[in-house]
């Protein structure tokens, strides 16, 4: 039985946490989801830390940084903090950030967000299964929220 933390924000305009939680539940019966909701992405690192303190094996941290330069700075600070948590705990935090300027319009943003949250929830499950679970896909240009880039045919 795995315990999977799902940390999300009230700042996001799409229910990323709900999508991740339901993806986990639909794809792994031996998983328990623990939710944690914070105001914004900069609050996610300590939420992840606290989720590990409650026994989580992995955390999925989801947020939607805005489109202004200051928002990029915030997402950078959040990402740096999420990496620090992982190193302190020795456990993965899968970051699922959807930047508001990624989509041409709201419809596209919703598509990107949904697909990214779902695929990264599956990545979290894969990482729990073992360090080589994704090795067959190493170097194959996988994307989350955009079409896969695919592998470059090695021509040499």
Q: Which of residues 26-55 bind a second copy (CB under 8 A)?
A: 34-39, 42-43, 45-47, 49-51, 53
For residues 12 and 36, give the distance between their C-alpha atoms in angstroms, rounded to a whole number.
14
In angstroms, what CA-CA distances link 53 with 21, 47, 131?
A: 19, 10, 23
Residue 129: Cβ within 10 Å count: 11
Nearest CB to a second copy, comparing residues 30 and 120: 120
Q: Given candidates 26, 67, 129, 140, which one binds a second copy under the rule CB under 8 A?
A: 140
Q: Which of residues 79-138 bind a second copy (CB under 8 A)?
A: 79-88, 90-95, 99, 106-107, 109-111, 114, 120, 123, 127, 131-135, 137-138
DSSP 48-78: HHHHHHTT-SEEEEEE---SSHHHHHHHHHH
Nearest CB to a second copy, comparing residues 1 and 138: 138
Nearest CB to a second copy, comparing residues 13 and 32: 13
Length of the chain: 156
Binding residues for a second copy, total number by CB under 8 A: 82
Residue 31 beta carbon to a second copy: minimum distance, rounded to whole angstroms? 18
């Amino acid at each position: 039985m795995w315990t999977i933390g799902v940390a999300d924000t009230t700042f996001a305009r799409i229910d990323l946490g709900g999508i991740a939680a339901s993806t986990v539940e639909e794809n792994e019966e031996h998983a328990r989801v623990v939710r944690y909701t914070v105001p914004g992405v900069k609050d996610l690192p300590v939420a992840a830390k606290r989720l590990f303190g409650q026994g989580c094996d992995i955390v999925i941290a989801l947020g939607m940084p805005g489109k202004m330069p200051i928002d990029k700075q915030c997402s950078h600070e959040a990402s740096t903090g999420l990496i620090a948590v992982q190193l302190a705990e020795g456990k993965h935090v899968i970051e699922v950030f959807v930047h508001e300027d990624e989509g041409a319009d709201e419809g596209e943003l919703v598509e990107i967000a949904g697909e990214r949250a779902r695929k990264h929830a599956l990545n979290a499950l894969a990482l729990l299964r073992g360090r080589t679970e994704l090795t067959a896909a190493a170097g194959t240009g996988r994307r989350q929220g955009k079409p896969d880039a695919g592998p470059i045919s090695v021509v040499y």
